[in-house]
A and B are shown apart, each in its own frame.
Chain A
Amino acid sequence: MAEERFDAIVVGAGPAGSAAAYTMASGGLKVALIERGEFPGAKNVFGGVLYRKQLEELIPEWWKEAPIERQIIEQRMWILGKESAVTFSHRNEKYKEPPNCFTGLRVKFDQWLAGKAEKAGAVPIYETVVTELIHQNGKVVGVRTDRENGDLYGDIVILADGVNSLLGKSLGVHKEWAPDEVSLAVKEIIALPKEKIQDRFNLDDNEGCTIEFIGDTFGMAGLGFIYTNQDTISLGVGVMVNDLKKKKIKPYEVLDSIKQHPSIRRLIQGGEVKEYSGHLIPEGGFTSMPPLSGDGWMICGDAAQMVNAVHREGTNLAIASGKIAGEIAIKAHQAGDYSIRALGEYDRSVKSSFIHNDLKKYRGIHGLFKEMNSDTLFGSLPQALNDAAYEWLLVDGVFKKEKQRKAVRTLKSAAGGNMELLRLGLKGWRAING
């Protein structure tokens, strides 16, 4: 056992844990920050887009010192057919000032954010795995690590151990994943000369662009992404685990096939794959969110399911929840009360924040995917939309009226008839409007 006691112990130096540690250390608490990786971010994976807003509330103008890649001024959404795409996008110079979001790489970003917590006084304990929580009289009073004399005691333990939170499971607030609550993402980082990236994506200097796409994922519920970094491109796809199981397709097979799509192939041509990684994404959202605190503990970020899959927001929810947990911990420390009575304030704060409200808005999405056939939603419908667009734009002498009828018919039959199309529209509308 380590002799030293801490006011707070944070497990996991991802965005949630480092934000919590930074908040508490800046508030004068004695904080230990434990991370299993060789250093924070060493093995962490995300898309990734970092958002200005939530971190700015913690570290003003953070993007001026943090290792970011590009400032995003254009976001595109693609609906892919077999060899076609229907695209939407928005580009706006206004996204420059104030900036809205950035591309980043976790290896650098997590290290930087944890470094801020260290500088604020948090004691780094890296390459160390927390194996279990230590309980006394029904309260969490510390953590057991995999090091010799590895027990560490503290008044509050903050769990920020990510999507597969073993500690959350041990508390019983985090159940085993159901295959329809989680998707498996694979990602490649592809190196390309800076000029090529800027030409291919229509960008200047530090401007960046994001592309998200659905369709062409073998009829499985999935979302793909392409993000521009300084001299690399992040390309990946996340697919619902139950669909992968059903279709017996490996995620990298999906990625390989997507790389051949004519709209994508050219963007990455000549690039060298530098890194390959995989990670789970919690998709359960609002309905799978556990209780967030108890006697001596609070849980934040992915460990508490705080991912808004529709808007690919995760790091910002993680950071915001870490900050709130940190603030509640400071109050609890001042009051000398670490019971659920004091820490329950965290649940209430999260409830009134954007985290709870945004996740609640989309709570129907999970049910929609569950109910709907992925083949329809992610296979035949995107294809039908592409076919309709093709017909509509093809100049072949057919009367426009007939063309319109044909286009609508294509969509209808893909959905399984008039009523089905209507029902789907309604369901979809409800799912994204809480």
Chain B
Amino acid sequence: MLHIVACIKQVPDSREIRIDPKTNTLIRQGVPAIVNFYDLHGLEEALRIKDEYGARVTVVTMGPPSADKALKLCVSMGADEGVLISDRAFAGADTLATSYVVALAVEKAAQEWGPVDIVFCGKQTLDGDTGQVGPGVACRLDYDQLTYVEKVEHLDEAKKEIIVHRHLEDGVERVKAKLPVLITALAELNKPRRAGLPGVLKAGRYQPVVWTTNDFPDIDRSKIGLKGSPTIVGKTWVPEPKKVETQMLTAESTAVLAEQLIDSLYATELPAKLGWA
């Protein structure tokens, strides 16, 4: 049976984030945590493959103990197992250290539940925005990496081949690759499902598997956590809000107002830029 690993991260809900005007840092306190939504598209694709071909889907996340909520959500949607990689020693990891640990976890998942055929990651996270962890994991595992995937066209289970569409800046690339591969998901890939009631019941009682540093006997401690993270944040700042000119339109009816709005929009460079003109 196919074995698919979906990597997810719990992130602060960016719709609710505010910035402390005094310290210029993110106020994380009290901000609800959600599953990074690109990751959910990756999980959904894994579940679709499971529905069609039969597969075992393992979800892994590195994070604090409270991230078990995110794993439960994945199990409610249909994942078979959720693994929480959690240890104080992992805290403070940048993308390099994170990809090291996640790659180890994928290897361990292969030992526990069978060889891995596909790893799904999101395109990037909402809080870090780097898009580096997926490719990092692929490099470390020596898998082919298929980034920015907007469609899985075909999976050949016997030949162990997959055809996907990668959305690039100047077009779409249709790629055939040999498994195992690592895919990073775009939002266009699919629409994540809402769990059915049986799934929610299962998740309500589910306890995720927890792996700490002790579960990785060969781990190189210099490569994890803050110590294993060479990234230095030089400076962060809040961009000044841009002043824009505002023009108020008034008219006797909404129809006339709409006309006016379209006319004034077409008087700008916007339509040309967007290719509407």
Contacts and interface: CB of A to CB of B under 8 A. Distances in A.
Contacts of B197: 2, 125, 128, 145, 147-152
A371 interface: no
B196 A125 contact: no
Helix, strand, loop or mixed for chain B's interface?
helix
A4 B201 contact: yes
B195 interface: yes
A147 B196 contact: yes
A148 B200 contact: no
Helix, strand, loop or mixed for chain A's interface?
loop
A256 interface: no
- Interface centre among B194, B196, B198, B205, by most A CB within 10 Å? B198
A36 B102 CA distance: 34
Interface string B178-208: 0000000000000000111110110011000
Nearest to A147: B197
A97 interface: no
Nearest to A42: B32
Contact of A147 (B32, B200, B204): B200
A148 B195 CA distance: 7
Interface residues of B, number: 10
A2 B205 CA distance: 14
Contacts of A152: 197
A150 B198 CA distance: 8
Nearest to B204: A123
Interface residues of A, number: 16
Interface string A135-147: 0000000000101
A168 interface: no
Contacts of A128: 197, 200
B201 A125 contact: yes
A379 interface: no
B46 to A, nearest CB: 19
Contacts of B196: 147-150
Contacts of A124: 204
A2 B197 CA distance: 6
B48 to A, nearest CB: 15
Contacts of A38: 32
A123 B205 contact: yes
B204 A3 contact: no
Contact of B194 (A123, A125, A148): A148
A2 B198 contact: yes
B224 to A, nearest CB: 31
A149 B200 CA distance: 11
Interface of B: 32, 194-198, 200-201, 204-205
16 contacts: A2-B197, A3-B198, A4-B198, A4-B201, A123-B201, A123-B204, A123-B205, A125-B200, A128-B200, A147-B194, A147-B200, A148-B196, A149-B196, A149-B197, A149-B198, A151-B197
Interface of A: 2-4, 32, 38, 123-125, 128, 145, 147-152
